Structure 1
C-alpha cells in the first residue's frame, strides 16, 4: 500500500514515517508538512492508496485537504491522525469525507488496524473518538427561515456567521477560533449555500434578520 504522510512537526513527521514504513505492506512514498504539498505530490503521482495527515497544519490543514481529495482524487483514502478530540472538529472531519480519524494517543497496533480497515474500503474511527461523539450532547443550531424548510447550521458555522456579522475579516476569525483562514472560507461558502444567499453581505443581513448577533 503506497501512502503519503503529512505532519507539520518535522521530528514527528520523520518518526511517523519510520513507524509506518515498518508495517508490513506499507510503502511511505513521500513526507510533507502541509496539505498543499500533498496535493502537489499527487499531481505528479496519484497512484497512492492512502494519505495519513495531521489535522492542524499551516497553509492547508487536514480538513481542507480532505475536501480537496474528495473533489480531485476521490479514489485516494485519507486517515486523520491528530490530538484534536473536540466533537465538533471530529464531526467536521467526518462531514468533509475523512475515511478515518485516529488520535495520536493511539497504540501502533490501532493505527495499523485503522489503515488496513480503510484500505479495505471501510471507515475507521477509534473507540475513543466514537465515545466522544456518543457523549456529545450539544444540538446543532437550526434557524427559522422564510420557507417551512429548516437548514441545520453546525456550531462552528454559527460561530463563523456571528463573527462575519460583527465585521471580522477571515484572518481575524481564524485567529479567534484557532483555525486556518482557508477553513473559515470553507465555512463561509457552506453558509452561503445553506442559507441561499449570494454574498457575505447576504450572510450579514441574514444574521441580523434572525437575531443571530
Structure 2
C-alpha cells in the first residue's frame, strides 16, 4: 500500500511517517505539511493508494483535501487522523467523502485496522467517533440514507439495531435479549437488507440519523 502523509507539525509528521512505515505492507512515499502539497504530489506520482491526513492544516486542510480528491483523484482513499472530536467536524468529514476518521488518541492497532479496512474498499470510523456521533442526535448524513416510507422494522429488529448502535457485540446482544447469537446475526443481515446499507457502520448511521438511540 503506497501512502502519502499530511500533517502540519513537523515532529508529528516525521513520527507518523515512521510509525506507518513500520507497518507491514505500507510504503510511505512522501510527507507533506498541507493538502495543497498532497495534490501536487499526486499529479507527479498518481500511483498512490491512500492518504493519511490531519484535519486542520494551513493552506488546505483535510476536509478541502478530501473534496478535491473526490473530484481529481477519486481512486485515492483518505483517512483523516485528527484531534478534532466535535460531532460537527466528524459530520463534515463524512459528507466530504472521507473513508476513515480516527482520533490521534487511538492505539497503533486501531490505526492499522483502519488503514487495512480502507485499503480494501471499506470505511472506518473508530468506536470513539461513533460514540461522539451518537451523542449528537440531530446529526444528518447524506441523502442516500433517507428513510423510505415503506420500511417497517419489527420491535425485535429495533431492539437489535439500538444495541448495535450502542456498540454491543453479537454475544452481548444475545445475552441482553435472551436469544441465540445466530439469531442476532440473522437480524443484523435482515436489517442491512431492509435499510439498504452494507455494513454495521451503515446501521449505526441510520440509528443516529433517525434518533433510535
> What's the TM-score bracket when you normalise by the shorter of the two chains?
0.5 to 0.7
Task: Output the CA distance in 2 between the equivalents of 1:46 and 1:80.
Answer: 20
Tell me the CA shift for residue 127 of structure 1.
Answer: 0.4
TM-score normalised by L of structure 1? 0.65
TM-score normalised by L of structure 2? 0.65
Task: Output the CA distance in 1 between the equivalents of 2:14 and 2:3.
Answer: 14
Task: Output the CA distance in 2 between the equivalents of 1:3 and 1:12.
Answer: 16
Task: Output the CA distance in 2 between the equivalents of 1:79 and 1:45.
Answer: 19
Summarize deviations over 1:79-106 as a string: whole Å, max 9, x none: 0000000001100000000000000000
| Aligned match of 1:117 | 117
Tell me the CA shift for residue 6 of structure 1.
Answer: 0.0
Task: Output the CA distance in 2 between the equivalents of 1:12 and 1:25.
Answer: 22
Tell me the CA shift for residue 33 of structure 1.
Answer: 0.1
Write the mapping of 1:48-197 to structure 2, written as runs, cut at 5 A.
48-138=48-138
| Aligned match of 2:149 | none
- Shift of the 138–13 alpha-carbon distance from structure 1 to 2, 3 Å rule, reads same
The aligned length equals 140
Task: Output the CA distance in 1 between the equivalents of 2:137 and 2:22.
Answer: 40
| Aligned match of 1:204 | none
CA contact (8 A) 2:85 2:132 kept: yes
Which ranges in structure 1 are unaligned for 5 or more consecutive residues? 141-213
Following TM superposition, the consecutive aligned residue runs of length 4 or more in structure 1 with deviations greater than 2 angstroms are 137-140
Q: CA RMSD in A?
A: 0.9
